[in-house]
Amino acid sequence: MQTIRENVGALIASGLFILLSMVAIYFENWFIFLVPAVLFVVYLAIYHTKFVFLFLLFATPLSVNIEEYVDGFGLFLPTEPLLFGLMLLLLMYQLRTSIVPNYVFRNEIIWAIAIYLIWIFISACMSSHPMVSFKFLLAKLWFIIPMIGFGTLLFREIRYIRAFLWLFSIGMILVIIYTVTIHASYQFGEKESHWVMWPFFKDHTIYGAIVALIFPLLVSLYFFKKHSPLIQIVLLSMIIINLIGLYFSYTRAAWLSIVAAGGVWFLIAFKIKFKYIALTAAIAGIVLFFSWTQIQFALEKNKEEHTTEDFGKRLESAANVTTDASNLERINRWSCAIAMFEERPFFGFGPGTYAFEYARFQEPENLTIISTNFGDGGNAHSEYLGPLAEMGVFGLLTTLLLIATIFYKSITLYNAWPEEDKETKIILLGMILALVTYFVHGILNNYLDTDKAAVPIFAMCACFIALERKLKMVTK
């Protein structure tokens, strides 16, 4: 019966495609061709959802924001229409047959996501720009619902988790090759590094964040099992291309996030107990507190600028809070976020409203050569201070709860996974370290409101939920 329905659907879709094509040719209106294309995608989504979902993972790094071409309307193509359509399809399936298993709703990651979304809704109701905030909430829903819903169904098989890592990484490698090729034509200049990834990425910071994110994924795929020589060469080539892209992104936060991931790998690989980590952190905090005056003097002497192309000096410039315009502007945005929080500490100004409100919170002494009086420069440059300003104290707490839950569940899952299944453990570790790169980078920038970051992160959450269920079934 299912096959008959699929064949009938294919015949109807083919007939409509031919009919509309004839109409388009007759009237010489080529936009009519979009209608059969949309119908074809709808057909695929209904009868071959798995392939549409996998295509979405591949297409995410390659998506283009049409805001670059249409003023005042931001939409990533083809990913966001596909995500929205998959969300509606999943909700219809769920209402009719409840396809998402009950164990998904019992997972702590889902609880943390639910609390996070509920607070977004509550703060959106109190927003200074309700339309902006509810659009923000809708975007969050179409990022999260299809990735978690269809992801937990698909990722019950480890081969589809590998497919996710391969597809997303290949899509990103294609972007890196494109970016490095364009950048090379400008002799890898620092100024050009800010925009050569266009139209796939807005600037070098989000580009660098996703380049860093796929590095642990590629390494985990390489060590996943003994590959054939051809696959080994392909993966090594992808890793080398990734490192080249990372270097020429000139993104200091991305470089540092890889170092942080290496530190977390050391802690996990050598099974360092939490009490020792906490003790080390406490000692470091005490030393920092009593040495703060000397540290301030040292920071004030640092005059290295982020505009240099020298790797070592560029890293040094990360601590330049005296003359580096990028660092000073980030401090300006953070100061505005804190001031916004102080004015509206409980509900904030509303999700997605920072860019519309921060201008009047800029202090003259914090303004830089790249500041704008109209406050049209973007977001809070922090995955943590942004929610604090936009959604108040509970916005920050729900964000931290979500991040802490993801890491707690994923690391616990890694530790509980049977040692004899080393292949899955390697994949788990790769995803954990990929998340470390992003959320460390999130101290300095925030991109979870874009498909580039949200899709892989919530896809990895779906992997953890699916694998936890598999582990429980195996150990029963």
Task: Give per-residue pLDDT as tens, 336-383.
Answer: 999 999 999 999 999 999 999 998 998 888 788 777 766 666 788 899
Q: Is residue 3 part of a domain?
A: no
Going by their DSSP bridges, the two strands 64-65 and 76-77 should be labelled as antiparallel
Q: Is residue 182 part of a domain?
A: yes
- Domain that includes residue 180, residue range: 105-476
Both tokens assigned to 56 = 């979405």
Q: Is residue 232 part of a domain?
A: yes
Whole-angstrom distance, CA of residue 2 vs CA of residue 390 = 48
Q: Is residue 403 part of a domain?
A: yes
How high is the pLDDT of residue 299? 47
Compute CA distances 157 → 138, 151, 154, 410, whole Å: 30, 11, 7, 17
Three-state secondary structure call for residue 196: coil
Q: Is residue 9 part of a domain?
A: no
Q: Could you tell me how many residues make up the chain? A: 476
How high is the pLDDT of residue 363? 87
Q: Is residue 240 part of a domain?
A: yes
Q: Is residue 264 part of a domain?
A: yes
Both tokens assigned to 291 = 């040495």
For 443, phi then psi, to 5°, come to -65, -35
Q: pLDDT tens digits, residue range 76-88?
A: 888 999 999 999 9
Q: Is residue 161 part of a domain?
A: yes
pLDDT beneath 70, residues of the chain: 1-17, 20-36, 68-73, 285, 288-324, 373-377, 476
For the beta carbon of residue 96, count every other beta carbon within 10 angstroms.
8
How high is the pLDDT of residue 324? 65
SS3 content of the chain, % helix, strand, coil (to 5): 75, 0, 25
Number of separate domains in the chain: 1
Whole-angstrom distance, CA of residue 326 vs CA of residue 335 = 14
Estimate to the nearest angstrom the gap between the alpha carbon of 245 and the chain centroid: 18
